Structure 1
Amino acid sequence: MCESDEEQPQLSSSTLAVLQEFLKEKYEQQNNLLEHLVNNKEEQIPDILFDENWQLSQFWYDDKTIQALVRGALNSTPANGKIALISCPTIYSKLKKECGKRQVVLFEYDKRFKTFGTDFIQYDYKLPLNVPKNMSSQFDLVIADPPFLSVECLTKTAVTIKFLTKKNIVLCTGAVMTELVEKLLDIKKCDFIPGHRNNLANEFCCFSNFDFDKTLE
């Protein structure tokens, strides 16, 4: 390979500065909108404010799926219960608006969601027990969506799920992971099928260890 082939295209300093300023402004605008959402329970505010980051394997649920998961979460937890969301941030906003006295905690790697304040806990599936120790067996329901379709990601996320939940689990992931899901968490596939704003090539499924389909009626 010649030397010229190894050279990578470079942006000019002025172009790079413009790009950085654009990204900074976009980030600030999204944060301002999210802060408004947290402080004002207004139905017209969209539930999804941040763009997907494909490098983090983010694929946001569509509105129908968000509504279904929120309805199921509310119907399967007590009025003063606790709900944990692992790697599924798009459920948070709508659930928070409708949760009443329930506590909702988001365990998420993406630091953009730290705008949720004390409801946000930095989470890396690679460190499955690097979560507050006082949260062991504290959640009436854990909803999880492991970001990657890999044995490692699902296995380590399952460790976190088992640590946090009192009993009830809802997990959304690719159908290709079905055998491992059932083995790790003793949960079964639901009739409910989650959907995404940008259609995924992989078949997606929902699993639970209780009759989650009935909570959607």
Structure 2
Amino acid sequence: MSAENNDLDEPQLSAETLKALKEFYEEQNEKILNLYGDKKNISDIKFDEDWQLSQFWYDENTCEQLVKCAVQTIGCHGTVALISCPTLYKHFKNNSPSISVKLFEYDKRFSAYGIDYEFYDYNEPLKLNNELFNYFDLVIVDPPFLSEECLTKSILTATNLTKNKLILCTGEVMEGTAKKLINLHKCSFIPKHKNNLGNEFACFTNFLSPLD
């Protein structure tokens, strides 16, 4: 989930409006938790995109290809960290339930996923449970904003969580910055979103994969 972070072009909301939006999402979260908290099929909960958080959900094919890549790369009993890409979670749970998945996400609505959810703010890239450092066989990261700062901090988180393998999905314009930060190569696979975005997206990995 990513979008261009350009404060000059985006309308600014009043403090009153932002407060109302915050209260609305908190109310929605509470309803979701009350409705699904005790159910086993928690991955079936449907969340709407929150444009205030620059959320844009992947389309079905993108989810399928990324999950398929993960299974072929780390096997059906590996560990995966998802950073700021919550749409992948239910695809892992529904299609590859034996893979252990943890979602690192700022949006607390996803706390409905219980122990599979970790609150994550890219502004504090290393504010994490130390036991999770170098724990995951694969990390998939999609920084929420197309800015050098956001990408740099998100990559810092990802490289500390992964044992070695990393998939980055972000705007094509970030290719130079991504390669400067970490040894990545661009794949032929192109991530797509349910709602078409103006930015061209790309996928990068630090290993040979089915996405090449």
Q: 1:185 aligns with which of 182, 186, 189?
A: 182
1:71 and 1:23, CA in 2 relative to 1: closer, same or farther beyond 3 A?
same
Q: 1:146 aligns with which of 138, 143, 147?
A: 143
Residue 39 of structure 1 pairs with residue 61 of structure 2: no
Check the 8 A contact 1:76/1:215 in 2, yes or no.
no
- Output the CA distance in 2 between the equivalents of 1:141 and 1:199: 27
Residue 105 of structure 1 pairs with residue 106 of structure 2: no
Count of equivalent residues: 196
Match runs of 1:107-122 below 5 Å: 107-122=104-119
Segment of structure 1 superposing worse, 112-121 or 19-28: 19-28
TM-fit CA distance, 1:182: 1.0
TM-fit CA distance, 1:80: 2.3
State the secondary structure of the residue aligned to 2:65.
helix
Which runs of no fewer than 5 residues in structure 2 stay unpaired?
Answer: 1-13
Check the 8 A contact 1:75/1:215 in 2, yes or no.
no
Check the 8 A contact 2:57/2:193 in 1, yes or no.
yes
State the secondary structure of the residue aligned to 1:210.
coil
- Structure with bigger gyration radius: 1
Which letter maps to 2:71? L
Segment of structure 1 superposing worse, 19-28 or 93-102: 19-28
Number of the residue aligned with 1:160: 157
1:21 and 1:87, CA in 2 relative to 1: closer, same or farther beyond 3 A?
closer
Residue 58 of structure 1 pairs with residue 50 of structure 2: no
Which runs of no fewer than 5 residues in structure 1 stay unpaired?
Answer: 1-7
Which letter maps to 2:191? P
Q: TM-score, normalised by structure 2?
A: 0.82
CA RMSD of aligned residues (A): 2.8
Task: State the 4+ residue runs in structure 1 displaced beyond 6 angstroms.
Answer: 19-25
- Output the CA distance in 1 between the equivalents of 2:183 and 2:122: 20
- Output the CA distance in 1 between the equivalents of 2:194 and 2:55: 11
Number of the residue aligned with 1:73: 70
Q: TM-score, normalised by structure 1?
A: 0.80
Check the 8 A contact 2:189/2:202 in 1, yes or no.
yes
1:27 and 1:128, CA in 2 relative to 1: closer, same or farther beyond 3 A?
closer
TM-fit CA distance, 1:211: 1.9
Check the 8 A contact 1:138/1:164 in 2, yes or no.
yes
- Output the CA distance in 2 between the equivalents of 1:21 and 1:55: 13
Segment of structure 1 superposing worse, 191-200 or 78-87: 78-87
Number of the residue aligned with 1:4: none
Which letter maps to 2:185? K
- Output the CA distance in 2 between the equivalents of 1:61 and 1:95: 14
1:88 and 1:100, CA in 2 relative to 1: closer, same or farther beyond 3 A?
same
State the secondary structure of the residue aligned to 1:199.
coil
State the secondary structure of the residue aligned to 2:170.
strand
